[in-house]
Structure 1
């Protein structure tokens, strides 16, 4: 395998074979000749501090049971508080933070202790497919709340949320901010309006904020729980370094559980039911949060430029609003008249995207494209898509 050098994308631009040599699902599962742009994973070498931390762990030669098994949680609890305080002026109590392998496990654990089969759970759509699939598998009723889509992009209507909650009796809201797939970063006014609904309807808010570190200026991420003490007390804030720092395989996440009822429910679970995160995941996350922001700044510069490149290079007829966060573009292909645009581009362009129908109501005719790659790969993706669209004309 080619050596992974320190630059966020130098390794892949200098040696394209590096991408296909990686064992991760994105490139390892791609058929020959296909360019994968589906899963939310960056095509950049991981931060140098993360590599050093993992190398040091292996160099010590100790992968035994970590010391924190007998203590009050991992060092991630304090690291999460420090990061939130430094970046957002919010200091979540480490005693209220819990560790998980990823956000999907955290969501399912919270739903397990906080809701019952048959309960209604509200969520904005189009929405993250894995969360949408979780609800019926757990016997919960999805209450879809449609986003507004206009000339200027996507917006959240608090009155529509209130109506949906009132009609369904939902007592839980899954909030995804920054939003996947649209890339919206909710404004303080939008968050305050949602908080008002949560207060009036006594909602538990499960807030997925995993893409917070991938927000582009002038957009500013505001943690939902930071709005007020009352809001924090009804919120579970879930996050991970996995997206921004490209370490999803480390399987490490945290959730600040502001709700005492949910904390009590989680703490009553059998202690080994959810398993435990490993030393490598903790080391990687600590190195990401504490030492890798210069790397992140460079990556954000690259991603921000890719947003513009994408808009300039997409085929005519595809609608696109530059995302305010994430490495994901939500592309409106409805004018092309295709039954399934993702299937069309895979078959005719060799570009693997996610079908909008996976994102629930309102996703039909859309595709999600990951632009977290090198400019050269992105240019090839767009060129292939343009050529495929030309065949329709």
Structure 2
């Protein structure tokens, strides 16, 4: 497989995105979920062509993106999507909030599963709901699993919805079909809704294929709404395009209640880039997955050699590593110590869950092997110092 090589630091530091502007030049920035690979050529060509024709107006609705995604989802993900059951919006987070507003009433509980993508806490609050934490079972050593009994109990206690992270950020878990089907049955038993964030789905490694929630059963289609995007897998988060996908009349009614403006918030460049990604980006994505596979394994070797005691489980999806740095004695927030003493920026562990995140941090390994190696060496030197 032809790898896609990440760009060198001197080129990356000319970028103006948050990852490259939040920290001084002597810091290796590895917290933000943004890849260091060059933009896929079909996407770049589509955007250049749009500029050349001054195509910077409003988007032409959801259908062009939905039809491109239909082919991509069928071919790569085994997911048959009806374009007529897709409403686009700006990003996955916006889609989550808008759907939650329509399947809950203010004050209702919404389940999330720490350690979890930190904005989930805020998105639930933005939807005027209350966060109900049901932490993941297991851990780095033995592996992770959704706590289905805990989720069942939380629904029984009154929660009305759950935000499912599939695959899971930050631990890289890809739930299997039987687990997802069981989750759907739990939701049905309580007449609740699963809002499935599936943005990292195309970043599952081939050995552990991702199962879209809406594919596992009729019950999942009845009680689930999926939200996805090309943003993570093709590194176009700044261009603003996401898809809200339904597969039942019950879920259709929710999607159809979305305010008119939700669809118009999709960016024109986001739509153009997404169509190019879904239609022509497959070879690039395959090359990125191969490079990420190399890096996730390299990280395990580097940690074993230079940071014994640090715990890391190779993720099955995403380009994010969840690290238990407790053995280093750097406190509840080791990312703060790493930034000050090693000049390595990591995502702050406790923001993923105040309890389960203590002593942890998230590292983005979608970079050159040299940057990854340098980061671990800096962390090791800070420990020795």
TM-score when scaled to structure 1? Answer: 0.91
1:175 maps to which residue?
164
CA distance in 2, matches of 1:305, 1:140: 41
Per the TM alignment, residue 7 of structure 1 is displaced from its structure 2 partner at its CA by 8.1
The CA deviation at 1:273 is 5.8
For 1:311, the equivalent position in structure 2 comes to 300
Deviations along 1:129-187, one digit per CA (max 9) or x if unpaired, are: 00112223433111111112243221223122212222x21121110010001000011
- Distance (Å, rounded) in 1 between the aligned partners of 2:262 and 2:84: 20
Checking the alignment, whether the CA contact within 8 Å between 1:7 and 1:45 is kept in structure 2 is no
Is contact 1:8–1:47 with CA below 8 Å preserved after alignment?
A: no
1:114-193 matches, cutoff 5 A: 114-150=103-139, 151-166=141-156, 168-193=157-182
How much does 1:29 deviate?
1.8
Q: Give the conservation status (yes or no) of the 8 Å contact 2:226–2:245.
A: yes
1-structure distance, mates of 2:12, 2:71: 34
Question: 1: distance between equivalents of 2:254 and 2:77?
Answer: 28
CA distance in 1: counterparts of 2:78 and 2:361, whole angstroms: 36
Distance (Å, rounded) in 2 between the aligned partners of 1:274 and 1:97: 10
Distance 1:341 1:242, change over 3 A: same
Q: What is the TM-score when the length of structure 2 is the normalising length?
A: 0.93
The unaligned stretches of length 5 or more in structure 1 are: 1-5
Partner of 1:42: 35
* Aligned 8 A contact 1:148 1:157 in 2: yes
- Alpha-carbon distance, 1:195 to partner: 1.7
Equivalent residue number for residue 329 of structure 2 = 337
Kept in 2: contact 1:21–1:28 (CA 8 A) = no
Are the structure 2 counterparts of residues 279 and 382 from structure 1 closer, same or farther at C-alpha, using a change threshold of 3 Å?
A: same
Q: What residue in structure 2 maps to residue 382 of structure 1?
A: 376
Provide the aligned length of Structure 1 versus Structure 2: 378
Q: Report the Cα offset of residue 39 of structure 1.
A: 0.8
Distance 2:153 2:241 in 1: 36
In structure 1, the residue corresponding to 2:113 is in which secondary structure? Answer: strand
CA distance in 2, matches of 1:64, 1:191: 40
- Report what 2:214 is aligned to: 225
Q: Distance in 2 between matches of 1:110 and 1:229?
A: 20
**1:3 is matched with which residue?**
none
Equivalent residue number for residue 79 of structure 2: 90
List, as ranges, runs of 4+ consecutive aligned residues in structure 1 with deviation greater than 3 Å.
258-270
